[in-house]
């Protein structure tokens, strides 16, 4: 029986990836369809992807598949054959190729079975995710964005919206998609007669969001096909003006793809124009925030003086401090407070 998960340390895997000389292509894709046996599907796909040295995150559930991966260019044609033949619903599936890509986005394959391919918090059994809004391609997007009877609704997290969004798009200020869905319904109640255009990074969230809006009585619901990634690619190919301003946040090592030259965000430490996300280098923090080059030098890649000083401590003392803290995703939110000013330090053992 082949090993169906990774057994090598992240440090070694990352070093191996950085030492690679063959170019890689970063690609994302998703599909809502019914899987009767997600685990068997997952195991079969893992074996085939692993042979092709595919890296990245793939989530499989009864409702379909969601993936962000990188593939060696010499294996890309074979990868498409494997994927398209894995299930009838995946034949000729649309692939979103990264706009800016150094091939260093992932270093390990993680293929997991989950309850949902995107966490939505929906428990209503009458909800039909297959009844979605109308797809919009780049040219139609540009036409509708200038229509005063149309609202563009960003179905991404607040920190994604902060660095880039469609012109005049409505932000649903939340940390998670599951919180956004009911918030969007509530915020748009008085706009039911307007055209509602949902969008997200690659299409998976806004497609489900469009179905959710239809389920709650909205009539004229649309979503951007392939999300920001596909919109930007098609707009550039067709010579259309870009209506998305700034940077598109992505969930891999790159943390962003430049769409337009405008920098619409600011450093969370000094307020200078900047749209570069980073994680605090202190392993006891790892806060996700925006940091300019000047502050990166001043704070040694950390989010605060506190974290910078902790980073200077001997590794054993750093580990002892981390042992007394709660783990979890930490994201800077302008509306909820300042950068990390204090860190819990456990009492020394007597």
| Residues that are catalytic | 200
Q: How far apart are CA 348 and CA 192, in angstroms?
A: 59
Residue 270's region, left for phi above 0, alpha for psi from -120 to 50, else beta, is alpha
Provide the token pair at 118: 């995107």
For residue 327, count CB atoms less than 10 angstroms from its CB and return exposed for 0-12, middle for 13-18, buried for 19 or more.
Answer: exposed
């Amino acid at each position: 029986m082949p090993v169906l998960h990774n057994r090598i340390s992240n440090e070694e895997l990352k070093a191996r990836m950085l030492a690679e000389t063959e170019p890689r292509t970063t690609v994302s894709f998703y599909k809502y369809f019914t899987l009767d046996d997600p685990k068997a599907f997952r195991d079969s796909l893992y074996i085939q992807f692993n042979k092709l040295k595919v890296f990245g995150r793939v989530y499989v559930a009864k409702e379909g598949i969601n993936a962000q991966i990188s593939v060696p260019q010499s294996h890309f044609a074979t990868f498409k054959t494997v994927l398209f033949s894995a299930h009838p619903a995946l034949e000729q599936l649309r692939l979103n190729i990264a706009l800016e890509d150094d091939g260093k986005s992932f270093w390990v394959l993680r293929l997991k079975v989950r309850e949902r391919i995107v966490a939505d918090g929906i428990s209503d059994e009458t909800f039909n995710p297959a009844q979605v809004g109308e797809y919009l391609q780049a040219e139609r997007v540009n036409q509708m964005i200038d229509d005063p009877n149309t609202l563009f609704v960003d179905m991404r997290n607040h920190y994604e919206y902060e660095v880039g969004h469609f012109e005049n798009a409505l932000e649903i200020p939340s940390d998670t998609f599951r919180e956004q869905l009911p918030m969007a319904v509530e915020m748009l109640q008085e706009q039911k007669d307007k055209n509602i255009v949902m969008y997200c990074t690659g299409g998976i969230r806004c497609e489900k969001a469009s179905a959710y809006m239809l389920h709650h009585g909205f009539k004229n619901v649309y979503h951007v096909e392939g999300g920001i990634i596909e919109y930007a690619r098609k707009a550039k190919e067709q010579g259309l003006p870009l209506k998305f301003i700034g940077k598109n946040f992505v969930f891999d090592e790159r943390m962003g793809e430049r769409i337009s030259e405008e920098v619409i965000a600011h450093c969370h430490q000094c307020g200078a124009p900047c749209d570069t996300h980073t994680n605090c280098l202190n392993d006891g923090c790892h806060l996700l925030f925006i940091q300019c080059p000047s502050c990166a030098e001043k704070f040694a890649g950390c989010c605060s003086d506190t974290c910078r000083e902790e980073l200077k401590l001997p590794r054993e003392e750093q580990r002892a401090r981390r042992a007394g803290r709660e783990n979890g995703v930490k994201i800077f939110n302008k509306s909820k407070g300042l950068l990390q000013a204090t860190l819990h330090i456990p009492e020394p053992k007597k």
